[in-house]
């Protein structure tokens, strides 16, 4: 991470990613964009038992959508479902227990789901920031396994089901933190040098944005987008970045503010009028690189990323 990139990003964040940044942007939102009836449309949300994922699920359930919560912890998932149903009066909320860091589990779930359910919208929200280098049971670095490979497998495995649906969409919750990093395709699992969980997370989020762009160019039938929710006060931020949370707490967005653009991308007609593959912040497409940041990767590097992920994914396919 260059000092220049990091400084520019933090100043930008103080202006745009905070609660006041959202409030300024929201003055220009069209309220009618979210005035929709989602009855009959099916939405899958990963990491949906708390934070932005749960807030997104609640908004979709409130509008009558069929909601599939994909979560790792059964107790917390069932508690989230109960709260969502109670508030929305929508009984069409379903829990699926999947560990997104397990490539084989993700494959098995996606294959089983596709055989038994239709799907209109996939929202890739699940993520983690593990601050010490940790390997999964499959021998993969945990941040990479969850944020990048798990997202890759779930999305690609569900594409045939999505292509059968009307107005199919994939929304990936990335992070503005990716602006501080250039893709490093030669060390995807952080085996070289000193491990830094924040840097690993930013790399993963850069990878998600690149994958969104590539999928958009390769699968025209589906509308793809990625987004930055801003700096939101979520359980994940509290646990993974305690010092940042302590310093910034009064300026952080609510979970609902963080979820707003996710919901807008998933349900509004205004969103699909935008080109596929873009990166959004507060309902607007924004640049994926800071000015003068030298963070662009070559087409060859981006192609290699997708090829490596495909090879790894097939290794764990049942």
Give catalytic residues, as residue numbers.
201
| DSSP one-letter string for 272-288 | HTSPTTEEEETTEEE-S
E-only strand ranges, the chain: 42-46, 66-71, 93-97, 121-124, 169-173, 223-228, 278-281, 284-286
d(CA 283, CA 227): 9
Angle between helices 3-16 and 19-26 (to 10 degrees): 60
Sheet with strand 284-286: strands edge to edge:
93-97, 66-71, 42-46, 121-124, 169-173, 223-228, 278-281, 284-286
Q: Are 178 and 297 in contact (CB under 8 A)?
A: no
CA distance 54 to 71: 10
Q: Which residues contact 13 (CB under 8 A, 6 or more apart)?
A: 176, 231
CB-side exposure of 39: number of CA atoms within 13 Å? 1
Question: In Å, what is the CA distance from 189 to each residue of 36, 203, 292?
Answer: 41, 10, 27
**Alpha-carbon Rg for the chain in angstroms:** 18
Tokens of 161: 């089901």
3-state class of 235 per DSSP?
A: helix
How many residues comprise the chain?
Answer: 318
Residue 83 to residue 85: CA distance in whole angstroms: 6
């Amino acid at each position: 991470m260059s000092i220049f990139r990091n400084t520019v990003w933090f100043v930008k964040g103080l202006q745009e990613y905070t609660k006041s940044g959202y409030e300024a942007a929201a003055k220009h939102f069209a309220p009618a964009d979210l005035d929709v009836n989602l009855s009959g449309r099916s939405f899958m949300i990963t990491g949906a038992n708390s934070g932005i994922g749960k807030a997104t699920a609640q908004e979709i359930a409130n509008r009558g959508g069929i909601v599939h919560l994909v979560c790792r912890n059964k107790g917390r998932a069932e508690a989230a479902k109960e709260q969502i149903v109670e508030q929305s009066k929508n009984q069409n909320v379903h829990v699926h227990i999947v560990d997104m860091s397990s490539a084989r589990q993700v494959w098995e779930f996606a294959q089983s789901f596709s055989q038994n359910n239709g799907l209109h919208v996939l929202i890739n929200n699940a993520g983690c920031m593990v601050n010490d280098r940790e390997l999964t049971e499959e021998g993969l670095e945990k941040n990479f396994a969850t944020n990048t490979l798990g997202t890759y497998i779930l999305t690609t495995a569900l594409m045939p089901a999505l292509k059968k649906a009307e107005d199919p969409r994939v929304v990936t919750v990335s992070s503005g933190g990716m602006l501080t990093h250039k893709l490093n395709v030669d060390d995807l699992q952080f085996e070289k040098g000193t491990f830094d969980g924040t840097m690993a997370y930013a790399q993963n989020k850069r990878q998600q944005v690149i994958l969104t762009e590539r999928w958009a160019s390769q699968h025209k039938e589906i509308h793809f987008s990625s987004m930055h929710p801003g700096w939101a006060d979520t359980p994940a931020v509290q646990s993974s970045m305690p010092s940042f949370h302590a310093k910034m707490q009064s300026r952080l967005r609510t979970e609902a503010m963080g979820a707003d653009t996710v919901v807008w991308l998933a349900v509004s007609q205004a969103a699909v009028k935008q080109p596929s593959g873009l990166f959004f912040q507060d309902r607007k497409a924004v640049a994926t690189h800071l000015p003068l940041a030298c963070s662009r990767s070559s087409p060859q590097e981006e192609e290699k990323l997708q090829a490596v992920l495909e090879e790894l994914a097939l290794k764990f396919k049942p």
